[in-house]
Amino acid sequence: MRKTAVVTGASSGIGEATARRLAAEGYDVVAGARRRDRLDKLAAESPSIRPVTLDVTSQESVDALAASLERCDVLVNNAGGAFGLDPVADARLDDWQRMYDVNVLGSLRMTQALIPKLVASGDGVLVMLTSTAGHGAYEGGGGYVAAKHAQRTMAETLRLELVGQPVRIVEIAPGMVRSEGFALTRFGGDEEAAARVYAGVPDPLTSDDVADAIAWSVTRPAHVNIDRLVIRPRAQAAQHKVHRVSD
């Protein structure tokens, strides 16, 4: 019997790479995001990928996706991102609200909608895409750091609450990843500001590097729970300690 994996935020970056990778691993992949044109392009690569228009900030949208599934063996709560890099004193409430809504409540909606199917599968795996921002603070990161800490806490709580049931809870916490959209989203589409994030860093992680970690985690034997993987590029020894090479 083929297993089904649901990946949120599959239209770009880590989610797109994960959908592609899980399809290659033999899963039927339900690829969800708002930008349907990009999902259609991804789905054209593999008959195992089904594109689904999904907005994780909408309960109706999440419920419709859940109702369309016969089964769900893997859920990758990946949809998310950062808005802004303002100090707490000047931060826009609106940015914090959007970050909480997509990262935290979006993951909560998906989790609540799919836990019954993950349990029914007999070996469900829930992957929570947090960040190293879920494990420490940095200047300007307040709202994002808070949201990623909340997701991390949700994963830890779920693992406690679901113990004894056939579901594994995996947290993937990447450091600097040069994905397609993350920095662009943070800076509202400002390409120069986005490029400065990675300037001089020899090799930031790629979306494929993170997809590889996700695929490895979910394909371990059923009794093996990978609680958390923290993954950084070699050039990033800690949140603030990034090796940059000048031209």
| 202 DSSP assignment | S
To the query of whether residue 144 is one of the catalytic residues in this protein, the response is: yes
Q: Does 121 bind ligand NJP (CB under 6 A)?
A: no
- Which residues 6+ apart lie within 8 Å of 241 measured at CB? none
In the complex, minimum distance from the CB of residue 16 to ligand NJP, in angstroms, rounded to a whole number? 7
Q: Does 213 bind ligand NJP (CB under 6 A)?
A: no
Which stretches within 102-240 are classed as H helix? 106-120, 142-161, 182-186, 191-198, 207-218
Q: Name which of 115 and 133 has its Cβ closer to ligand NJP.
A: 133
Q: Does 155 bind ligand NJP (CB under 6 A)?
A: no
Asked if 28 contacts 5 with a C-beta cutoff of 8 angstroms, the reply is yes
Residue 124: φ, ψ to 5°: -80, 150
Residues 44-73 that bind ligand NJP (CB under 6 A): 54-57
Q: Name which of 25 and 208 has its Cβ closer to ligand NJP.
A: 208
Asked if 77 contacts 9 with a C-beta cutoff of 8 angstroms, the reply is no
Choice from 13, 124, 141, 143 touching ligand NJP (CB under 6 A): 13
Q: Does 239 bind ligand NJP (CB under 6 A)?
A: no
In the complex, minimum distance from the CB of residue 146 to ligand NJP, in angstroms, rounded to a whole number? 13
Q: Name which of 92 and 123 has its Cβ closer to ligand NJP.
A: 92
Residues 160-189 that bind ligand NJP (CB under 6 A): 174-177, 179-182, 185
Which stretches within the chain are classed as H helix? 13-24, 36-43, 59-67, 93-99, 106-120, 142-161, 182-186, 191-198, 207-218
Q: d(Cα 114, Cα 53) in Å, to the nearest integer?
A: 17
Q: Of 5-13, 21-29, 212-220, 221-229, which part binds ligand NJP (CB under 6 A)?
A: 5-13
Binding site for ligand NJP (CB under 6 A): 8-15, 33-35, 54-57, 78-81, 102-103, 106, 129, 131-133, 174-177, 179-182, 185, 207
